[in-house]
Amino acid sequence: MAALLQNGDHHGNGSPATTTTTTAIDDFLKPLAVDLPRIRELADELADVFRELSAHSPDQFLPTPISESILRPAAGQHRGRFLAIDIGGTNLRVAFVELSDGSSSSTAVVTRHLEHSWPIQEHLKNENPESLFGWVGQQVAHVVGKGCAAFGLSARDELPMGVTFSFPMKQSSLSQATLMAMGKGFAITSDLDLGGHLLRGYDAHRHRRLPSEMLPLPPIKIAAISNDAVATLVSFIYQFPARPDQKAAMGLIVGTGCNATIPLPLRSLHPTKRPASISVLPGQDVDTVKIAVNTEWTINGTAPPLRRLGFITPWDDVLDRAGEAPGFQPLEYMSAGRYLGELARLIFVDFVSSTRRTLPPDADADADRVVVLQLPDRFHRRFGLSTTFVSHLYPGSERGGLVEQLEREFPEGRWTADAAYALYRIAKAIELRAAGIVAAATVGLLRAAEELGAGARTDGVRELAVGYTGGCIQHFQDYLADTQRFIDDVLAAEEDEDVKVILRPCHDGGITGAGILVPAALAGTEV
């Protein structure tokens, strides 16, 4: 095990890190440093990357066949109660989503009824699609049964349902989707008809009801399917209390993974990615259509500008090489919760190893209170340091002091104030870089969508709102505040930009967006 020789109170009773350690960690973390000129340049280059991916990539910038014109008039106008499901990487959620008036004519209220959530067990991920979707159908039938009792649903009337799915898919229409390779631990690797599998799974349990369950269940009709990032934008548009000079422009997810969605002009997509039919307003000219696009912006394309501008460090390369698919999702490795704790572990172990020192022969060890830090075994195992833990490791945390937190999380270790401070500084440097990258990607995507920069049609809009969700951006150090600050600084440095970009919360967008899409889809016309 590596040893770190430090001067300091190893109980960390308020003692600051030594000047030596502060200087050492400052120098050590220089590869992670970010600055405004490079963030601005990254935003410019990512705008070009996103335009290229939209026009040519078969696996990214995947359209959802519903036009922006359908979503915006729907905001605050549709009423009713609709069945919705959200199939994520770790959990399934099912609920009835009720849309109603808010306290003013410009706001709408979304209420979830009979909501249930189940973890998706590993054996379901690893088995065949019939097992997974049969289980999903069973849980949907359970909630629909409760809905029949609570709301008096007729077993004769078809029940429209909205579906959110947290994986890449290709869609020929809003109600149909072909799954691509799923990843995230799921064994499904071939193209599958999502709607067909869901209906078969539900029908199997609808017709298998016990006499004791009394009420028969209605058949289900899939009205709309979307990716979770798209659903977040749908939910945000519906609920955002916009003024005439504001616009809900984009959805952003920074949780376990990182993704974004935005309406893009249909002409910006490669012809092979343009859906066969799109839900639009009656009479709308298809040439003017913008459609919601699931960017999957972390998959490919971002590595060259990140590397050229010096954002990728040797630690990132170590993390990448140890992954399941080296070279895949470079932006996600540097920005999302699944990986930031592991990156902190790699950097901290390297720092401890590289700062090993010996005392001069005549040193008075007792007077200098020399402490040798032995790293716990978990620091030598992949993912042995969690993102959740380092998220809250900062001075003044409600979870306690730096050393106190480390002693509680790793009681087998002998922690010093210097070591605790070094790990905090590593976590903060990782977060700052992540915030800078996400800020650059956000500005770049808004430019690619013609919401910012040359060619933007502002129509009096002075604020573009980005609806965000995800535990990482909410809880990792100052991720949210730093992302907003970087966005502000980038736009302030652009003399021709007179539009602000503001981050606004949009939580539970997956399940609510699925419900909101149902009446929006039913009200549209396919062209």
Q: What is the spatial distance between Cα 231 and Cα 504, in angstroms, rounded to a whole number?
A: 15
Residue 305 reports pLDDT greater than 50: yes
pLDDT reported for residue 66: 77
Q: Which of 5-9, 162-166, 351-355 has the highest mean pLDDT?
A: 162-166
pTM: 0.86
CA angle 136, 137, 142 (to 5 degrees): 100
Question: Domain for residue 139, yes or no?
Answer: no
H/E stretch holding 521 reads helix 509-523
Place of tokens 């302030």: 492
* Percent of the chain scoring above 90 in pLDDT: 52
Residue 360 reports pLDDT greater than 70: no
pLDDT reported for residue 421: 95
pLDDT digits (tens, 9 = 90+) for 255-295: 988 999 999 988 888 888 877 777 666 666 666 788 889 99
pLDDT reported for residue 2: 34
Residue 214 reports pLDDT greater than 70: no
Question: Domain for residue 470, yes or no?
Answer: no
pLDDT reported for residue 10: 33
Domains identified in the chain, total number:
1
Residue 46 reports pLDDT greater than 70: yes
- DSSP letters along 147-209, please? HHHHH---TTS-EEEEEEESS-EEEEETTEEEE---BTTB---S-EEHHHHHHHHHHHHHTT-
Instruction: Read off the pLDDT band of 445 (50, 70, 90).
Output: very high
Q: How many CA atoms lie within 13 A of 199 on its CB side?
A: 17
pLDDT reported for residue 7: 32
Q: Comparing 436 with 292, which gets the higher pLDDT?
A: 436
Question: Domain for residue 418, yes or no?
Answer: yes
Query: Which range of residues forms the domain containing residue 314?
Result: 3-42+302-433
Question: Domain for residue 166, yes or no?
Answer: no
Question: Domain for residue 8, yes or no?
Answer: yes
pLDDT reported for residue 186: 66
pLDDT digits (tens, 9 = 90+) for 231-246: 999 899 888 876 788 9
pLDDT reported for residue 435: 98
